Amino acid sequence: MEIIAQYGSVFLIMACLFGFFMAWGIGANDVANAMGTSVGSRALTIKQAILIAMIFEFLGAYLAGGEVTSTIRKGIIDPQVMEDQPQLMVYGMMSALLAAGTWLLIASMKGWPVSTTHSIVGAIVGFASVGIAVDAVNWGKVGGIVASWVVSPVLAGTISFGLFMSVKKFILDTDDPFSRAKKYIPIYMWMVGFMISMVTMLKGLKHVGLDLDLGLGSKFANAIPVSALVGLLVAFFGAMLLRNIKDDQDPDNRFASVERVFAILMVFTACSMAFAHGSNDVANAVGPLAAIVSTVQSGGEIAAKSVMPWWILLIGGLGIVIGLATYGWKVITTVGRKITELTPSRGFAAELGAAATVVTASATGLPISTTHTLVGAVLGVGFARGIAALNLRVIGNIFMSWVITLPAGAGLAILFFFLFKGIFNP
Amino acid sequence: MAGRNTLGSLFGRSPIGPIQEHMQVAFEAAEHLPELVQASADEDWNRAKEIYKAIIESEKNADKMKRDVRRHLPKSLFLPVPRSDLLVLVGIQDQVANTAQDFASILMGRDMRFPEKLAPAVHELTQTSVACCGQALAAIQELDELLEVGFSGREVKRVEAMLNELDKLERRTDKQQFNLRRKLFKLEDELHPVDVMFYYRATALLGSLADCAEKVGDHLQILLAK
């Protein structure tokens, strides 16, 4: 208790710095994967992609990021084990942030495939099991998280496969794909609006302080009609945008105009992807920070119930935006240049499949890897014979990133944990 | 930091564009043959030499492109069509260029000039054989549209219609080749025997050029079969 009273403000400042560092890393590297598909398929320019990322990453984090944040903050470790020594929680979360941030920096300089989620989860499990006690880790929950890492790419792949098959059947393989595209694409836009609205209604509105009750019984039942209406508005807005697209008959590529219709749809799915990414990945930086802040502010009580102060999210959001502005745009451009094979009719299916999966995981509080989910989604489109060439070595890389990132994050966190303990403990 | 990126490295180089370009170059080698036959009929050997050079150049380019396509099709690639079929397809496409060059080099090597009485039939056969190659190229040009619709449905039917057209053209070359041989047979006594031998060789090569084009079509169909 005395340690926290003595060093409280030092801890706060350090935690904010580390949290910001981590958020910067997410903005610089991770967002590129979420937005790269849209830039690669030329649905968005780099500037538009960054603007969408800034707005929707923040909205996603703020409106739907609560569950994952709380998992990172108090789901993986059992706070009760540390009740007598709350400073251990502070050291641990600071070392987790620093470890994950450092690891991300090293790995991305070396060009290794890494996941922010895996780094932070590995780091937290590492400091808790070695630095405190093996029992301090909520192994059941960790097992569930690890399982979700396998399930999420498969689920995203399945959804994308279905979406692309529906596009094939209802739009591409018809006599007049262009007018079919104009007719059916608003339905996919509706899905985007409905999905984001559902998650916001179920998970976000209580943050904002709004409570909607149509008297339909459950919260879920209340959210459905409202979300359906929001979806309709989105679809209507999208249909207005589609009206300006003209069919110019290009004899070399009969599908060029159809793809331009899909490019408009991709603006919407890009928003949903940024929203999904914000809802899941911002928690990696914000969760540990929130744990530290609530411990320090309550004077050492590891308060599992306290509300998260709004400015913590602001730090996370700001870090991501600055990461994007300073370095992320470069990575987005590189990623975008490499994936030009992904045309809008495929890119949208991959993005929507991934976004739906990520958003669902966020709503259930599971921290998953957006990048791996997106890879699963792209493979799903590939299995529907939609992509010219996919490099299956990436799947190997993903397994490598599991094998390397988890112990690396854990090892670094353990190192930093004992370092902090040595510095601050009397 | 821009090194390898998980999502960026997921996408391999599409073989579709390079395969189409390869067929284009292979067709260009064949495309010159009617001009070459005309130049030899006119005994304009300077012009013929130029055309021959262009054919050799195209054949060489096609070879290079074939190797390039194969080099960029590693086993780890996941493709919408079987990889082995694509590898074989470029080989067959390459045969179009090779056969065109074989014909041209026989013509050039012997300063060959078909007898006046045969000239119209030779022209006809050359034109139709080249038309076969053109039709095969047109079918290969549909590969990117096929990819766009995921190798299914109407687009497959469209390509199959083009392949039917190719078959028709090839049957026409068979008939023309037969007629040409009959004419040649009747002239045999008037001609130098060694010349006659090579007339038969050259005619056969024009026939195999059309066969090659048909094989390209056949293989495209195998690619589309489920």
Blockwise average pLDDT, block size 10, chain B, 226 residues: 65 92 97 96 94 97 95 91 94 97 95 92 96 97 91 89 96 96 94 94 96 96 84
Q: ipTM for the complex?
A: 0.86
Q: Are A366 and A373 in contact (CB under 8 A)?
A: no
Highest mean pLDDT among A256-260, A297-301, B45-49: B45-49
Interfacial A residues in 395-414 facing B (CB < 8 Å): 397-398, 401
CA angle A84, A86, A91 (to 5 degrees): 135
Instruction: Give the number of residues written for chain B.
Output: 226
DSSP SS3 for B112: coil
According to CATH, the superfamily of the domain at B14-224 is Phosphate transport system protein phou homolog 2; domain 2 (1.20.58.220)
Q: What pLDDT score does A394 carry?
A: 84
Question: Which tokens in the block code for residue A11?
Answer: 């801890």
Q: How far is B5 from chain A (nearest CA, A)?
A: 6
Say whether A168 and B12 touch across the interface (CB within 8 A).
Answer: no
Q: What is the mean pLDDT of chain A?
A: 87
Question: Which tokens in the block code for residue B203?
Answer: 């005619």
Distance CA A178, CA A224 (A): 32
CA angle A202, A207, A208 (to 5 degrees): 100
Give yes or no for A112 touching B (CB within 8 A): yes
Pick from A71-75, A140-144, A152-156, A213-217: least confident: A213-217
Q: pLDDT band at residue A209, thresholds of 50, 70 and 90?
A: low
> Beta strands B77-78 and A390-391: pairing type?
antiparallel
Question: Which tokens in the block code for residue A368?
Answer: 């998953």
Smallest Cβ–Cβ distance between A392 and the set B15, B16, B76 belongs to B76
B interface test, pick of A30, A342, A392 with most B CB neighbours within 10 Å: A392
Quick count: other Cβ atoms within 10 Å of Cβ A399? 11
Distance CA B153, CA B162 (A): 15
Distance CA A227, CA A285 (A): 29
Distance CA A312, CA A306 (A): 13
Smallest Cβ–Cβ distance between B149 and the set A172, A330, A338 belongs to A172
CB-based contacts of B175: which residues, under 8 Å, 6+ apart? none
Say whether A253 and B1 touch across the interface (CB within 8 A).
Answer: no
Nearest to B191 by CA among B200, B203, B202: B200
Q: A112 contacts in B (CB within 8 Å)? A: 4
Interfacial B residues in 15-44 facing A (CB < 8 Å): 15-16
Distance CA B101, CA B172 (A): 22
Nearest to A26 by CA among A372, A361, A370, A357: A370
Span A393-416, mean pLDDT?
A: 87
Q: What pLDDT score does B59 carry?
A: 97
With 70 as the cut, is the pLDDT of residue A1 above it?
no
Question: Which tokens in the block code for residue A224?
Answer: 């459905």
Distance CA A114, CA A107 (A): 7
A interface test, pick of B9, B11, B79 with most A CB neighbours within 10 Å: B11
Distance CA B45, CA A193 (A): 72
Q: What pLDDT score does A210 carry?
A: 64
DSSP state for residue A306 in the 8-state scheme: P
Q: Are B72 and B18 in contact (CB under 8 A)?
A: yes
Domain extents for chain A? 2-424
Distance CA A412, CA A137 (A): 17
Smallest Cβ–Cβ distance between A394 and the set B10, B13, B149 belongs to B10
Domain extents for chain B? 14-224
